[in-house]
């Protein structure tokens, strides 16, 4: 595993473990709260990793043992109350960053290692999968500040857990323990805190062994299909299947199956 020690004070750290990238939100003194500088660094890191063909999967985690991301930076949020325009620009910036994560061409796994609140919950919602430590607490407490989720939470949460459960969380601002989050479909898997990082990286490594183009097309097919009528979604699926049929990886996959051996995918 490699990382750049000169970036230890950066709000976002990136490590490489073969085809896996581990992206750490690195503000443990403030429970990894998201300020504008952190969002900008997160956006830049995600853009670089998504463009890097050597990276096959990405894990996002928070620095320290207490928090994934405990929310937006309240100092900056307080300044946003100066005007409607300032608040809107802040929300739109966060939405653009999290849209990039949601639209990534490779899987992004949130390893929720502690408090995952407000903007942290919205970050996790934008990821492809959410793995939580047994000790994690997840929620959208913006209502307690006289606000609503601003980084896409009011849109992604009901799409994931349904209208009523989403409104329960948004209107009460309550924190959901990991076991309940799993039961309502808010997180994908739950692990002991000590093994969460390894489990997330192991899952990322499993996905990294699949054909990159097939992963990319599967992500796109599901993402597009959720927002269009079924016939349009199926037409999109057929078009993507056709593109994959012309790849070397699909030919390798079918040959390997017939020859009863493991496939070796090259990304071509």
8-46 residue pLDDT tens: 579 999 999 999 999 999 999 999 999 999 999 999 999
| Of 122, 237, 248, 259, catalytic | 122
Q: Which of 33-42, 66-75, 184-193 has the lowest mean pLDDT?
A: 66-75
Specify the higher pLDDT residue, 2 or 246: 246
**Residues contacting 50, CB < 8 A, separation 6+:** 100, 104, 105, 106
Specify the higher pLDDT residue, 263 or 117: 117
Confidence of residue 75 (pLDDT cuts 50, 70, 90): confident
Confidence at residue 89, expressed as pLDDT on a 0 to 100 scale: 87
Alpha-carbon distance 12 to 32, whole Å? 10
248 included as an active-site residue: no
Q: Is the pLDDT of residue 261 over 90?
A: no
| Of 65, 142, 180, 252, catalytic | 142
Dihedral-angle region of residue 26 (phi above 0 means left; psi in -120 to 50 means alpha; beta otherwise): beta
Alpha-carbon distance 141 to 175, whole Å? 8
Helix (H, G, I), strand (E, B) or coil at 242: helix
Contact 149, 173 (CB under 8 A): no
Copy the structure tokens of residue 125. 């919602």
Alpha-carbon distance 111 to 68, whole Å? 7
- Domains of the chain (ranges; CATH) run 2-208 (3.90.226.10), 212-258 (1.10.12)
Q: Is the pLDDT of residue 5 over 50?
A: no
Predicted confidence (pLDDT) per residue in 214-237, tens digit: 999 999 999 999 999 999 999 999
122 included as an active-site residue: yes
Mean pLDDT of the chain: 92
Confidence at residue 29, expressed as pLDDT on a 0 to 100 scale: 93
Burial of 190 (0-12, 13-18, 19+ CB in 10 A): buried
Confidence at residue 79, expressed as pLDDT on a 0 to 100 scale: 67
Confidence of residue 2 (pLDDT cuts 50, 70, 90): low
Contact 127, 101 (CB under 8 A): yes
Confidence of residue 6 (pLDDT cuts 50, 70, 90): very low
CA distances to 27, 30, 33, 73, 75 from 78, rounded to whole Å, are 19, 16, 14, 9, 5
Q: Which of 43-57, 118-132, 220-234, 253-267 has the lowest mean pLDDT?
A: 253-267
Give the mean model confidence (pLDDT) for residues 83-110: 91
For the entire predicted model, the pTM comes to 0.92
Beta carbons within 10 angstroms of residue 260's beta carbon: 6
Q: Is the pLDDT of residue 110 over 90?
A: yes
Predicted confidence (pLDDT) per residue in 135-147, tens digit: 999 999 999 999 9
Give the mean model confidence (pLDDT) for residues 182-210: 97
Give the residue from 144, 136, 134 showing the smallest Cα distance to 169.
144
């Amino acid at each position: 595993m490699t990382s750049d020690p000169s970036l230890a004070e950066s709000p976002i750290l990136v490590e490489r473990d073969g085809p896996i990238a581990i992206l750490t939100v690195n503000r443990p003194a403030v429970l990894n709260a998201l300020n504008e500088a952190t969002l900008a660094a997160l956006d830049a890191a995600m853009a670089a990793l998504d463009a890097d063909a050597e990276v096959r999967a990405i894990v996002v985690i928070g620095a320290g043992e207490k928090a994934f991301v405990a929310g937006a930076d309240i100092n900056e949020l307080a300044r946003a109350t100066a005007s409607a325009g300032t608040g809107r620009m802040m929300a739109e910036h966060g939405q653009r960053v999290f849209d990039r994560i949601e639209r990534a061409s490779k899987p992004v796994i949130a390893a929720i290692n502690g408090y995952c609140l407000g903007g942290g919950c919205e970050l996790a919602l934008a990821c492809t999968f959410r793995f939580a430590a047994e000790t994690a607490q997840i929620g959208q407490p913006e209502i307690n500040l006289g606000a609503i989720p601003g980084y896409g939470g009011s849109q992604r949460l009901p799409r994931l857990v349904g209208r009523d459960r989403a409104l329960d969380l948004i209107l009460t601002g309550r924190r959901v323990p990991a076991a309940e989050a799993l039961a309502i479909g808010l997180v994908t898997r739950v692990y002991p805190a000590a093994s969460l990082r390894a489990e997330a990286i192991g899952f990322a490594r499993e996905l990294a062994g699949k054909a990159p183009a097939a992963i990319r097309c599967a992500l796109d097919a599901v993402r597009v299909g959720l927002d269009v009528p079924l016939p349009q979604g199926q037409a999109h699926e057929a078009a993507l299947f056709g593109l994959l049929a012309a790849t070397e990886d699909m030919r390798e996959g079918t040959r390997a199956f017939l020859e009863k051996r493991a496939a070796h995918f090259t990304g071509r």
